[in-house]
Amino acid sequence: MSISCRIGLLQLADSAPVLVARSMGIFTRHGLDVEAVVVPSWANIADGLVWNGLDGALMFPPLAIMTALGQRGRAIGLRPGFPVSRGGNTIVLRGQKVDHTQWDAQADKRRAFDNWKSALGRKPRLGVVHLYSTHYLILSHFLKNLSVCRDTETEIVIMPPARMIQALAAGEIDGFCAGPPWGADAQLKDLAFIVAGSASIAPGHLEKMLVLKELWKNEHPDGSARLHAALTEAIALCNDPSHAAEITQLLSRPLNANGLGLPEEAVKAVMPGSRAIADVMMFGGQNGQTGASCGWMIKDMQNEGWLPSAMLETLRTLGWYPC
């Protein structure tokens, strides 16, 4: 008997394994009827798990942890999920090719940032996809490495990743940290240039995992194993450069044609095997160790004040801590 599962995801290229498994019949072969529910924002993902009928979602560990702890309405006890992607996030700053050249030519990146900021004539507004995100933590590391105070020298703006390009073009933000392919798209459109990303700040970090609600897992005892097996097959295809063109076309299809409506050239630039940018996507776990991949995030979350010590015992019970 086929098992139904509603999986939430966003318009991001690292959602590819779910779309590949669906379009290529892999889920069906494993006895699964998976509905990929594409939503606009990470807030929608969290709310969908807590209130609106999602059985699981592709999400980054910080948001999964805070959702598990009830910081999105009520605690639902999410446990660490199946690793789906690593890396791929990029930081871009407003500017064209000449600005990129000037940034690269300046050895002192703090001075390069100050020159860039001076040209803006205001405190930079930098977009991230959610407060409880790997992107926020990675952007914070980037600014700290430049000796830039995030809280006083920049303004952080929260918005969905698919809105970043429009917001950049409209002058609503001056840069962002987002998942693939949006950084590559900003650079290809000559709206901004990539200055850093996962490869330089947190190499190989766990980015997206498939988390499943305990209620769904209890109702379908072998459901998780089936999903993991199906996604393992899909991940192998996504990591194989010989399938890159086919998967790029899939992700570029309109939403109403079972795609994600992503810009084709930008997707091509971030696929495994591409040399167009430094921060291409990687799929799957890192030596199978989910916990070891998110330990730095939990430490940063504690430093941000999101995880008081009283919550650590709950995280330990759920399997998130220690990592």
Encoded tokens for 170: 């409209």
Encoded tokens for 134: 């790997």
Question: Are 98 and 190 within one domain?
Answer: yes
HSE at residue 321, side-chain half, CA atoms within 13 A, is 20
Q: Which domain holds residue 217?
A: 3-85+207-318
Encoded tokens for 286: 């890192």
**Is 281 domain-assigned?**
yes
CATH of residue 175's domain is 3.40.190.10
Encoded tokens for 309: 């010590």
Please name which of 269, 129, 274, 136 lies closest in space to residue 201, comparing C-alpha atoms: 136
Residue 287 — pLDDT band, cuts 50, 70, 90? very low
pLDDT digits (tens, 9 = 90+) for 203-240: 989 999 999 999 999 999 999 999 999 999 999 999 99
How far is it, in rounded angstroms, from Cα 127 to Cα 163? 10
Task: Specify the residue for token string 């009520």.
Answer: 74
Instruction: Please state the domain count of the chain.
Output: 2
Residue 286 — pLDDT band, cuts 50, 70, 90? low
pLDDT digits (tens, 9 = 90+) for 28-80: 999 999 999 999 999 999 999 999 799 999 999 999 999 999 987 888 889 99
The pLDDT value given to residue 73: 80
**Domain boundary, last residue among 153, 170, 201:** 201
**Is 299 domain-assigned?**
yes
Contacts 24+ apart (CB under 8 A), 104-109: 109/145, 109/146
Question: Are 74 and 142 within one domain?
Answer: no
Cα–Cα distances (Å) from 106 to 109, 110, 161, 162, 224, in that order, read: 6, 9, 29, 31, 50
What single-letter DSSP state applies at residue 123? Answer: P
pLDDT digits (tens, 9 = 90+) for 144-180: 999 999 999 999 999 999 999 999 999 999 999 999 9
Q: What are phi and psi of 151, to 5 degrees?
A: -80, -25
**Is 49 domain-assigned?**
yes
How far is it, in rounded angstroms, from Cα 320 to Cα 50? 19
The pLDDT value given to residue 204: 87
Averaged over 1-6, what is the pLDDT?
94
Averaged over 99-106, what is the pLDDT?
93
Q: Nearest 5 degrees, angle CA 158-CA 116-CA 162?
A: 30
Please name which of 4, 225, 204 lies closest in space to residue 85, comparing C-alpha atoms: 204
153 exposure class (CB count in 10 Å sphere: 0-12, 13-18, 19+): middle
| 3 state SS of 321 | coil
The pLDDT value given to residue 322: 65
Question: Are 76 and 215 within one domain?
Answer: yes
Question: Are 215 and 312 within one domain?
Answer: yes
How far is it, in rounded angstroms, from Cα 107 to Cα 109? 6
The pLDDT value given to residue 317: 92
Residue 275 — pLDDT band, cuts 50, 70, 90? confident
The pLDDT value given to residue 291: 41
pLDDT at 278 over 90: no
Strand pairing of 82-86 and 282-283? antiparallel
pLDDT digits (tens, 9 = 90+) for 85-101: 999 999 999 999 889 99
pLDDT digits (tens, 9 = 90+) for 135-145: 999 999 999 99
**Domain boundary, last residue among 201, 221, 244:** 201
For the chain, give the mean pLDDT: 94
Averaged over 15-22, what is the pLDDT?
98
- Contact residues for 83 (Cβ-Cβ < 8 A; gap 6+): 206, 209, 284, 285, 286, 288, 290, 293
Question: Are 57 and 77 within one domain?
Answer: yes
